[in-house]
Amino acid sequence: MANTARENASIPSDLRGASRVATDATLLLTHLVETMHHNIARTPGVLGKATFAPTRGITGLVYRSVRGVTRVVGTGVDVSLAALQPLLGASSPWRGRDAVLAALNGVLGDYLEDSGNPLAIGMHLRHDGTALDLTQAGLASALPHATGRIALLVHGLCMSDRQWTRKGHDHGRELAQDLGYTPVYVRYNSGLHISVNGRRLSAMLGPLVSSWPVPIEELAIIGHSMGGLVARSAVHYARRGRRAWTKRLDTMVFLGTPHHGAPLERGGAWVDVLFGASPYTAAFNHLGRARSAGITDLRHGSLLDEDWQGSDRFAPSADRRQVVPLPAGVNCYAIAGVAANSTTGAGARLIGDGLVPLASALGRHADDERTLAFPEGHQWVGQRLGHLELLGSRRVYEQIRGWLGRDGERTS
């Protein structure tokens, strides 16, 4: 009897210990992944000396957010998030608010929306940092100098519309000066399923196009990273629903878009299996499941509801995506970065820009049916360009400007 009592008494203790181990393990794995990411970005070479310094900038913010979310799960999500609301609320004067809020939504955005948390980001179309009223009067007031050429810019995971400006450069602003485009920026909760954001964007572009202050000559969409997948999803759903705005779509440019997924997410999926291997740790499997639906969609580059409905999105799985080709009649271009100084080595192709492999960014796939048909002249690879550097690179911009300026070569 005494032995039974001691055994029963040890169960809560074991569970508390398991929870701490699970939390600590998640934090450690996050640190290891961040270290790998940092070393890949530094490109020290196979035999180069590694560093254990943390990543910086937006990338560092994302990893700090993952660690923060892990601690949040261990101590109570809602209580912890409540403490953030005064800092991140709409009236907050803190200059870093947008970046932190975007990262938080990227990591935990589906939970924020499902729980009705005020920190969840809603989708907006913006210009000069201000949300647009998608009525004729609203657009005419906000865009008194609107032109007939719209450049729609869609940001990536854990980012916001303000982060198109990098090192003083903004592709949208430069296109306005050089080619007369009117830039419109999408802001959205990147933690939601890509298909959810795709359908919402499709619905939002209808009133934007129909209420535009001047006759529209063309619509060009530029998507960075996940933003390119959201854009492809939006066009698919718009054409399925026969939405009129797609008739104005002329060009799509993809910057470091993981058309066939990113291996960083696939590796993270196995953490869930390890947590579920023991009956003691299975109760804390949700710690590995803190990452959002948007992140798990990046495993293979899922665009449609059918790609994830009816399945466990955390379970390691084969690529079961519906095939979605590039939209017919639209000029589509792909830009990929390679962190190394060569595109010939297998390591450079695998590493790509530090987050997205070269083949994925260029739409190439071992299955010909899944390969995206970017013409040879519609692909460009930039050496020594990391994932975020695609936003601030003059070389990247010159390539975009060259493509958008070639009026005589348009197919639509």
Q: How high is the pLDDT of residue 360?
A: 95
Is the model more confident about 290 or about 42? 290
The closest of 9, 187, 20 to 98, measured between CA atoms, is: 187
pLDDT at 164 over 50: yes
pLDDT at 253 over 90: yes
High-pLDDT (> 70) share of the chain, %: 66
Q: How high is the pLDDT of residue 98?
A: 79
Question: Per the structure, how many domains does the chain have?
Answer: 1
Average pLDDT over residues 276-284: 46
Average pLDDT over residues 376-399: 94
Domain of 347, in residue numbers: 124-260+320-409
pLDDT at 196 over 50: yes
Range list of H helices, 115-215: 136-142, 171-179, 194-210
pLDDT band at 380 (very low <50, low <70, confident <90, very high): very high
Mean pLDDT (the chain) is 78
Q: How high is the pLDDT of residue 365?
A: 94
Calpha distance 165→389 (Å, rounded): 11
Reduced to 3 states (helix: H, G, I; strand: E, B; else coil), residue 378 is helix
Distances (CA, A) of 351 to 21, 58, 341: 31, 19, 12
Highest mean pLDDT among 38-47, 84-93, 232-241: 232-241
Kindly tell me the burial class for residue 249, based on how many C-beta atoms sit within 10 Å of its own C-beta (0-12, 13-18, 19 or more): buried
Q: How high is the pLDDT of residue 107?
A: 79
Is residue 340 included in any domain, yes or no? Answer: yes
The closest of 184, 132, 327 to 247, measured between CA atoms, is: 327
pLDDT band at 368 (very low <50, low <70, confident <90, very high): very high
pLDDT at 367 over 50: yes
Give the model confidence (pLDDT) of 15-54 as tens digits.
444 444 444 444 544 554 444 444 444 444 433 444 545 5
Q: How high is the pLDDT of residue 287?
A: 47
pLDDT band at 290 (very low <50, low <70, confident <90, very high): low
Is residue 56 included in any domain, yes or no? Answer: no
Average pLDDT over residues 377-398: 94
Q: How high is the pLDDT of residue 241?
A: 96
Average pLDDT over residues 400-408: 83
pLDDT at 92 over 70: no
> CATH number of the domain that 145 lies in?
3.40.50.1820
Q: How high is the pLDDT of residue 68?
A: 56
pLDDT band at 128 (very low <50, low <70, confident <90, very high): very high
Q: How high is the pLDDT of residue 111?
A: 84
Q: How high is the pLDDT of residue 56?
A: 52
| Beta pairing, strands 218-224 & 331-338 | unpaired
Q: How high is the pLDDT of residue 109?
A: 87
Give the model confidence (pLDDT) of 291-339 as tens digits.
789 988 998 999 999 999 888 787 777 788 999 999 999 999 999 999 8
Q: How high is the pLDDT of residue 337?
A: 94
Is residue 282 included in any domain, yes or no? Answer: no
The closest of 78, 77, 74, 94 to 86, measured between CA atoms, is: 94
Is residue 270 included in any domain, yes or no? Answer: no
Reduced to 3 states (helix: H, G, I; strand: E, B; else coil), residue 131 is strand
Calpha distance 376→292 (Å, rounded): 35
Cα separation of the two ends of the chain: 82
CB atoms inside a 10 Å sphere around CB 36 = 14
pLDDT at 266 over 60: no
Q: How high is the pLDDT of residue 33?
A: 44
